[in-house]
Amino acid sequence: MTSPSRPVEPDGKPPATAPDPLSLVRSRSYVILLLIAAVLGVPISAAAFGFLALVNKLQSLTYTDLPQALGFHGTPNWWPVPLLAVAGLLVGPIIRYLPGNGGHEPAHGFVASGPTPTVNLPGVALAALASLALGAVIGPEAPLIALGSGLAVAALRLTRKSLPKQATALVGASGSFAAISTLLGSPLLGAFLLMEMSGFGGAVLGAVLVPGLLASGIGALIFTGLDSWTGLGTYSLTLPDVPHAATPDAAGFGWALLIGAAAALLGVGIRWLALHLLKLVEPRRLTATVLAGVIVGVIALLYAEWTGHPASGLLYSGQSALGPLLTANAQYSAGALTVLVACKTVAYCVSMAAFRGGPVFPAMFVGAAGGIALSHLPGLGVTPGLAMGVGAMSVAMLKLPMTSLLLATLLLGRDGLTVMPLVIVAVVVSYVLTLRLTPPPTAAPATEPDAAGPPSR
């Protein structure tokens, strides 16, 4: 009986053996990496807290304090138009001229691309700060992930010690964990987000996850301590006063199927429109970013004039507006909520094409508003509608099913366990349908052997 042939590389040599994750965990160098992750978790989480505090302060300053200082009684409905035009004036040159393109294009979703190069950090921070502070419909999670990884690697290089590429990537991932440790409401949620983004599995996942969890736990403690010390807030996603959810019934499962399918269709449409708008923005970045800001501002103006609700409910990521929307849901008619979903969706598409940030929180807000709007119909309560909308819309935009499920259920506390079966159905339907509706990526054309020539030696 002939033994199977051993695979060889094109040059005739056997392939390099992949490192054993268990051997890595048992090694002394892994313990050192854990200590590095723990130490770096403190300053990186503090920097993330400071970034979020600055964004929050600038939002209040530009949207509330500045109009009052200019003599207006309250914020005029037209105020977002010049505010977002200024955002475009700032973000366009940052993306065009600073290294790193201002960070990852949010229209492409989450892409695991390794630690952010140090030279790119100023551009990432400034583009995200201008986008988030001046009203773009974009979230803070992607810039924090990029900044956390870049700051961790930059701090590591200050030691002037040469580390393997794998160790550097591990430290960078730990920095990302620390930066978003409590942003999503729990260190566990941030861990699942980064875990699903990475695509690792098995023992490799455990080896990568442990330093990140350590940095995330320390980061959560730092966030809590800075909140207590400064009184500025935790900047974590929370929902106060969640209405009680009844036990799921047959009608609820029917709504889960419908909400999952609707979210998939909407998510695919949002991504399609954002990518097509991006093609229009990229060749004319400076003027198109200003125009995009004006368009988002006009959408906010139309929403405020049409519904009578403040434009701030449509602007920004939606993170801080989600709680008030749930608390005051009785003050919103089904028509007003439908207008809110439509306007927020279009502003979300335009913002992803022109500004810098992450896709998580606007997707959650659109799903929550849509679920609350559907709760005006028979057979669906407010809490199940919100939970299913958040989960289904998140997975439609992120394609991360476990993270989306946890976002929708942990957010609701005890009632999240009650509605979890409905959320699972909605997330699964939305995930499968999104994958089926999304066209496969175009493969790069193969190079002809004759044109390539013989392999170099």
Question: Could you please report the per-residue DSSP string of 412-438?
Answer: TTHHHHHHHHHHHHHHHHHHHHHHHHS
Count Cβ atoms within 10 A of the Cβ of residue 257 and give its class: 0-12 exposed, 13-18 middle, 19 or more buried: middle
CB contact set of 1 (below 8 Å; sequence gap of 6+): none
For 358, list phi and psi in degrees, rounded to 5.
-120, 160
Please check the confidence at residue 236 and state whether its pLDDT lies above 90: no
Residue 362's closest CA among 78, 435, 370, 233?
Answer: 370
Per-residue pLDDT at 296:
96
Please check the confidence at residue 10 and state whether its pLDDT lies above 70: no
Q: Tell me the β-bridge partners of 441.
A: none
Give the total residue count for the chain: 457
Count Cβ atoms within 10 A of the Cβ of residue 71 and give its class: 0-12 exposed, 13-18 middle, 19 or more buried: exposed
At 249, is the pLDDT very low, low, confident or very high (cuts 50, 70, 90)? confident
At 454, is the pLDDT very low, low, confident or very high (cuts 50, 70, 90)? very low
R_g (Cα) of the chain, nearest Å: 23
Please check the confidence at residue 53 and state whether its pLDDT lies above 50: yes
Distance of CA 195 to the CA centre of its chain: 14
Q: What value does the mean pLDDT of the chain take?
A: 83
In angstroms, rounded to a whole number, what is the distance separating the alpha carbons of residues 428 and 421? Answer: 11
Distances (CA, A) of 147 to 45, 143, 157: 11, 6, 15
Contact 389, 263 (CB under 8 A): yes
The percentage of residues in the chain with a pLDDT greater than 90, rounded to a whole number, is 42
CB contact set of 203 (below 8 Å; sequence gap of 6+): 21, 22
Please check the confidence at residue 244 and state whether its pLDDT lies above 90: no
In angstroms, rounded to a whole number, what is the distance separating the alpha carbons of residues 268 and 399? Answer: 11
Distances (CA, A) of 414 to 56, 94, 252, 418, 423: 29, 44, 18, 7, 14
Q: What is the mean pLDDT of residues 158-165?
A: 69
Q: Where are the beta strands (DSSP E) in 162-313?
A: none
Put residue 413 in one of left, alpha, beta given phi > 0 → left and psi -120 to 50 → alpha. left
Per-residue pLDDT at 394:
93
At 299, is the pLDDT very low, low, confident or very high (cuts 50, 70, 90)? very high
Segment (H or E) for 188: helix 187-198
Per-residue pLDDT at 451:
42
Would you state the structure tokens that stand for residue 367, as one six-digit string?
């799903």
Q: What is the dihedral of CA 408, 411, 412, 413, to 10 degrees?
A: 130
Please check the confidence at residue 83 and state whether its pLDDT lies above 60: yes
Among 12-16, 69-73, 166-170, 204-208, the least confident range: 12-16
Please give the residue that has the higher pLDDT: either 437 or 199: 437
Among 152-161, 266-275, 293-302, 322-331, the least confident range: 152-161
For 386, list phi and psi in degrees, rounded to 5.
-65, -45
Per-residue pLDDT at 373:
93
Per-residue pLDDT at 445:
46
Q: Tell me the β-bridge partners of 358.
A: 139
Per-residue pLDDT at 2:
42
Please give the residue that has the higher pLDDT: either 346 or 219: 346
Amino acid at the residue 434: T
Per-residue pLDDT at 4:
45
Q: Would you report the helix, strand and coil content of the chain in percent, each value rounded to 5?
A: 70, 0, 30
Q: What is the mean pLDDT of residues 83-103?
A: 94
Please check the confidence at residue 186 and state whether its pLDDT lies above 80: no
Q: What is the mean pLDDT of residues 384-391?
A: 94
At 80, is the pLDDT very low, low, confident or very high (cuts 50, 70, 90)? very high
Per-residue pLDDT at 9:
46
Please give the residue that has the higher pLDDT: either 161 or 290: 290
Contact 193, 180 (CB under 8 A): yes
Please check the confidence at residue 11 and state whether its pLDDT lies above 60: no
Please check the confidence at residue 198 and state whether its pLDDT lies above 70: no
Contact 369, 105 (CB under 8 A): no
Amino acid at the residue 164: P
Please give the residue that has the higher pLDDT: either 349 or 202: 349
Instruction: Kindly state the DSSP code that residue 331 receives in the 8-state scheme.
Output: G
Q: What is the mean pLDDT of residues 23-32?
A: 69
In angstroms, rounded to a whole number, what is the distance separating the alpha carbons of residues 219 and 36? Answer: 14
Please give the residue that has the higher pLDDT: either 189 or 292: 292
Per-residue pLDDT at 206:
61
Instruction: Kindly state the DSSP code that residue 329 receives in the 8-state scheme.
Output: G
Per-residue pLDDT at 447:
43
In angstroms, rounded to a whole number, what is the distance separating the alpha carbons of residues 432 and 421? Answer: 17
Q: What is the dihedral of CA 80, 395, 377, 245, to 10 degrees?
A: -110
Q: Residues 7, 12, 18, 19: is their CA dihedral positive or negative?
A: positive
Helix axes 165-179, 141-157, angle to 10 degrees: 130
Distance of CA 353 to the CA centre of its chain: 15
Please give the residue that has the higher pLDDT: either 249 or 2: 249
Contact 150, 172 (CB under 8 A): yes
Please check the confidence at residue 85 and state whether its pLDDT lies above 50: yes
At 119, is the pLDDT very low, low, confident or very high (cuts 50, 70, 90)? very high
First to last CA, the chain: 36
The label of the residue with tokens 């983004």 reads: 197
Please check the confidence at residue 245 and state whether its pLDDT lies above 60: yes
Per-residue pLDDT at 5:
46
Please give the residue that has the higher pLDDT: either 128 or 114: 128
Please check the confidence at residue 28 and state whether its pLDDT lies above 80: no
Per-residue pLDDT at 423:
94
Per-residue pLDDT at 3:
43
